[in-house]
Structure 1
Amino acid sequence: MIYRSRAPLRIGLAGGGTDVSPYSDLFGGAILNATINLYARASIQPIDENAIVVQALDRHEEQRFEWNNELPIDGKLDLLKGVYNRIQKDYGVPLTGFKLSTYVDAPAGSGLGTSSTLVVAIIGAFYEMLRLPLGEYDIAHYAYDIERSDLKLAGGKQDQYAATFGGVNFMEFYEGDKVIVNPLRIKQQILNELENNIVLYFTATSRESATIIKEQVKNVNSNNEKSIEAMHQLKEQAKMMKEAMLKGRLHEIGEILDFGFQQKRLMANNISNSSIEEVYESAKKAGATGGKISGAGGGGFMIFYCPGNCRYKVIEALEQFGGQARHYQFAQNGLNTWTV
């Protein structure tokens, strides 16, 4: 038997950063995101030896251990081992050897929620194997708790919920890790046009989001007015984006993205840099009406809204920077698990 799962990565469209504590605890956050058909995948396969093997196939990394109730958190494959440790502690894993394998369709640090989505996928594989009594909210919060409490990784809350629920969602974040996921019923013709007009561009650089997020947290704790006001504006941006998408006012999408781009730069240093600014301005000169740095910022993926048929000119204009436009489609389904 092989127990498999996959969970979709996401692109953030508005409100990015307002899901991070303590801002969300103090003021409430709001984000609009959409999952795409790039995935984090996990498989658990029993093996005929008393061992635990963890491997990230996309990164060509593997570790092997004698059977143990707790695997060492040492900077290598910690997401895989951290999920196992927590599942073992809370539910117990049968005393049988197994191999836990993962693969992610985008590089770590790319801004598409890869780490959190991977955690959701790994939980999904154990969920399938052990028939765990977990609903969608349970799985998403479980993933968040493993990352933030067990592994002490800095970050927000949106990625775990996007990966678990899937689709286009307006999410609200409140004190006490309370999250409300509001699925949006977007007409298919609007989603088709959004896919046509939104260019997903990889800058060919990855970044460590934790550093940027830690500064963002520091700015809130120190009552940095400029940073906090920027987050307020990004929360409003999420509401603006929700209304524009629900009402089919696609001509507003680029302007709303551009508004968010200007605000997000004020949240923390290193969210943007000279390279990102040059890419952004080149895209706008080629016809894009707005764009966004995906994730915490500093590199990774960017998106650009390209109305009409200007996507082709924008992609051509960005070739000089050495990055790559990635083909994608929106994914309506979240975490999916099955047994072979």
Structure 2
Amino acid sequence: MKISTPGRICLFGEHQDYLGLPTIAAAISRRISIEGTYRNDTQIIIHLPDLNAKESFFLSETLPYSKGRDYFRSTINVLKRRGFVFSRGLECKVHGNIPINSGTSSSSALIVSWANFLTRHADNPTEVSPKELGEIANAAEVLEFGEPGGMMDHYSTAIGNVIYLESTPKIYVEGLQPQLGTFVLGDSQQPKDTLGILARCRFGMEAIIQKVTEYDPTFSIFTTPYAQAAHYSSLLNNDELGLLKANLEDRDILRTGKELLIQSQLAANGDFDKEFGQLLYRHFENLRDHKRTSTEKINRMIDASMKAGALGGKINGSGGGGCMFMYAPDHAEAVAEAITREGGIPYIITVDEGSRVEAYREA
């Protein structure tokens, strides 16, 4: 059996999910696949030719972890707690074309593929829903190792297409079906600075919220109007005030973006592509200027893309490097060339479906 799962881009809500705010993400046409079958013993062997590596271990009642982020073992342990039984070994090969360590959820796509593969190869095989696949993958990657992170990556790659995700006050996921054109993903080939970015965007913003709430108990990141941020100018320095305004505006940009995406499902809108691109770029400006997640190279890649005909775009993922993407329904090739000239690696992509069975063969 062969299972494949897409990577993802975050359209709206970047660096907001850990504040309890919603996100909108899209699965992309770059995927990771797992192909394999049963063995005649109890050994699990996973070939990783893209990384020139291999992992192997024997099944046991509870699999001990040999390292941090031991996701192949953790996924089996999570599934066992959910009632799945594994007594036969498996041998698999992993292959993918999602840029690695670049903010496009290659690791989450791998875990979703592995979870999908395992649920179909247990002694009691079950086809679980895409939402449950996302929950299983999140438990295996985030909860099992106490790592920071939301569920956007796992839900987006498991469910596919475009999703709207709320995490507060409870998990709510809504599938969207907008008629989106072509994107161009650009890998800057710069390593991400996840910890440095989080120190500012998450912990810095949490400190600002605490300071503002102590001063004004009615303040809420969910409901306080953007214009009210000016009331806190005497409390915050310019840098803090800019970060607060950026988060309030990005919250509102997402709400506008969701309405726009839903409207595109219901009726033709000749200005949709332009309006959608403008919202992406407004989000990017806040990420660049106030959350400071971008880099000079990525800024140049985005500027060159806009001059080549892109309608908008933004840095993707945690930032400090990694990937950006541009919405270019009419000029994808020109935008790809512009990204190449700035030293990036471009990939022309479209929105894609979620984790799926690519091929099936009886054991």
Larger radius of gyration: 2
Cα offset, 1:228, TM superposition = 4.2
Q: Which of 101, 104, 108 is the matching residue for 1:112?
A: 104
Mapped to 1, the partners of 2:347 and 2:329 lie a distance apart of 18
Cα offset, 1:298, TM superposition = 2.1
Structure 1: state its 5+ residue gaps: none
Match of 1:202 in 2: 187
Q: 8 Å contact 1:155–1:213 — kept in the other structure?
A: no
TM-score of the aligned structures, taking structure 1 as reference length = 0.83
Q: Counterparts in 2 of 1:1-340, with a 5 A limit?
A: 3-20=1-18, 23-24=19-20, 29-68=21-60, 69-75=62-68, 78-130=70-122, 131-132=125-126, 134-175=128-169, 178-186=170-178, 190-191=179-180, 194-195=181-182, 198-207=183-192, 209=194, 211-213=196-198, 215-223=200-208, 225=240, 226-245=242-261, 246-247=263-264, 248=269, 249-265=272-288, 268-269=291-292, 271-306=293-328, 308-309=330-331, 311-331=332-352, 333-337=353-357, 339-340=360-361
Mapped to 2, the partners of 1:215 and 1:84 lie a distance apart of 35
Mapped to 2, the partners of 1:57 and 1:71 lie a distance apart of 25
Indicate the larger mover: 294-303 or 244-253: 244-253
Cα offset, 1:138, TM superposition = 2.2
Mapped to 2, the partners of 1:127 and 1:182 lie a distance apart of 24
Cα offset, 1:259, TM superposition = 0.6
Change (3 A) 1:88 1:276: same
- Identity among equivalent positions (%) equals 23
Q: 8 Å contact 1:216–1:267 — kept in the other structure?
A: no
Structure 1 counterpart of 2:137, one-letter code:
A
Cα offset, 1:329, TM superposition = 2.7
Mapped to 1, the partners of 2:347 and 2:163 lie a distance apart of 22
Structure 2: state its 5+ residue gaps: 210-239
Structure 2 counterpart of 1:264, one-letter code:
L
CA RMSD of aligned residues (A): 2.6
Q: 8 Å contact 1:128–1:339 — kept in the other structure?
A: no
Structure 2 counterpart of 1:251, one-letter code:
K
TM-score of the aligned structures, taking structure 2 as reference length = 0.78
Change (3 A) 1:185 1:251: same
1:21-71 residue CA offsets vs partner (Å, 9 max, x unmatched)? xx11xxxx2222222221122234222334222333321211222443314
Structure 1 counterpart of 2:324, one-letter code:
M
